[in-house]
Amino acid sequence: MKKNEIIKREHVELGNNYLTSALVFCFIVFSFCWMNNLSPAEQDQAPSHSGSTSKKYLTQKEKLRAAFIAASPGEKKGEAARRFFENLSAQDINRLCFDNDNSVALYAAWRKLELQLTARLLGPERGANIIYIPPGVSHEFLGFVEGRLQVPVPNNWCHNLLSARYGRWGATLFSMKHSPHYRPEGEIKYRQGEGESALPNVYLHLNDKDPSITFIGRGLDEGIDAGAKLPKEVEEKIKNQLSRDTVTGIAIKGRAVIALEGKGPDFEQLICIATRGSKDHPKVLWQCQMDSYWARYFQGQHWFTEFRVKDDHIYLFHCTHTSIGIECISFKDGSRIFSFNSRLPTH
């Protein structure tokens, strides 16, 4: 009797297993058919249950986001940003302000600012071709930048944003009145022989026998005082920048980084050299290109870069007449952590 009961119980359990498997199979078939009947837009919004990160299962928005993050510096980065952000709703923009990637979050915050300004041009400022950015809107973006990056925004970069104007055609203009390259009238720029060139935080001593460079720091996040001989392979390159008055730099932890202007966005460089007291002095430790422009570069356009340092990262705050930018570089090897620019290529 007990044996028959055991056999009967096993048959019941086996039947239940078959029934469960059949229900799971039907659910999978139903889900597949349902997804195939959705439009592409609906498929973008459909929930994913697989948890896969394979590109095969990414939505169109996720693919555009991934392409933007992976894009190389310069106009390619700007073009990828344009494709990603151009058709997003205000709700999408607000959500992306909390994205875990700084490049995405910073441009989303800037796009949010632009949407607010466009609304003003269609509403209370209707008829105006260009307006000053209201202080409340500028301060909201500045607060977002400082809160997100946890580094203080440089003064000149901040003041240029606070005095910026926004045009009906969708461009932001920066006056560049606030620049770290400004000198009081009469200050000596360069003297022959053993003279010095006084630049923002940087002094170049041009003695032909022993050309050297001095960095003036203003605190932990603005670098420390340091000096270095100019390595032979970059000596002429740095000297040539004196006439353009665009050299800026920062020093910390036995290293100094110098920003050098080039002939366009693909040529602007950062050069890291070992400073006095370091076992590697004098030596070029690394060089890399800056990601200071995402749209077409206009020859002769004025620009400047200010620095901040946090942990082992350098934060570069760029400003031109038509854009502002931020990028983060590893102090260790010059690899790029993220970048942002306010100006995108047009169609």
Q: pLDDT tens-digit profile of 131-164?
A: 999 999 999 999 999 999 999 998 889 988 999 9
Which band of pLDDT confidence, cut at 50, 70 and 90, is reported for residue 2? Answer: very low
Q: Can you state the angle between helices 102-122 and 135-149, rounded to 10 degrees? A: 170
Residue type present at position 340: F
User: pLDDT for 88-97, tens place per residue?
Assistant: 999 999 999 9
Reported residue count of the chain is: 347
Does 94 or 43 have the greater pLDDT score?
A: 94
In whole angstroms, what is the distance from residue 34 CA to residue 31 CA?
5
Residue 190 one-letter amino acid? Y
Q: What is the CA angle 153-154-156, rounded to 5?
A: 130
Residue 192 confidence (pLDDT): 36
Tokens of 334: 């010059």
What distances in angstroms separate CA 6 from CA 2, 19, 20, 37, 112, one per listed residue? 6, 20, 21, 47, 69
Q: Residue 164: its pLDDT value, please?
A: 92
Give the pair of three-digit tokens for residue 103.
């490049």
Q: Which helix (H) or strand (E) holds 15?
A: helix 2-36
The whole-model pTM stands at: 0.76
Q: Give residue limits of the domains in the chain.
A: 2-39, 196-341
Q: pLDDT at position 328, please?
A: 95
CA atoms within 13 A on the CB side of 68: 28
Residue 291 in contact with residue 325, Cβ under 8 Å? yes
Q: 40 pLDDT band (50/70/90 cuts)?
A: very low
Report DSSP state, residue 347.
-
So what's the pLDDT on residue 177? 67
Beta strands (DSSP E) in 168-209 are: 172-173, 196-199, 202-205
184-213, pLDDT tens digit by residue?
Answer: 443 444 333 344 444 556 776 766 567 787
Fold held by 196-341: Thrombin, subunit H (2.40.10)
Mean pLDDT of 337-344: 92
pLDDT at residue 321 tops 80: yes
| pLDDT digit string, tens, across residues 242-271 | 555 566 788 888 999 988 876 554 467 889
Residue 277 has pLDDT above 80, yes or no: yes
Backbone angles phi, psi at 57, to 5 degrees: -105, 5
pLDDT of amino acid 9: 53
Q: How many CB atoms lie within 10 A of CB 228?
A: 23
Task: Round to whole Å and give the CA distance between 254 and 147.
Answer: 29
| Mean confidence (pLDDT) of the chain | 77
pLDDT band at 127 (very low <50, low <70, confident <90, very high): confident
Cα 195 to Cα 112, 131, 207, 333: the distances in Å are 48, 45, 7, 33
Q: What is the pLDDT of residue 238?
A: 78
**Cα-to-chain-centroid distance, residue 260:** 18
The β-bridge partners of 214 are: 203, 227
Q: Could you tell me the CA-to-CA distances from 94 to 85, 110, 122, 137 in Å, in that order?
A: 12, 11, 21, 15
The two three-digit tokens of residue 112, written as one number: 């949010």
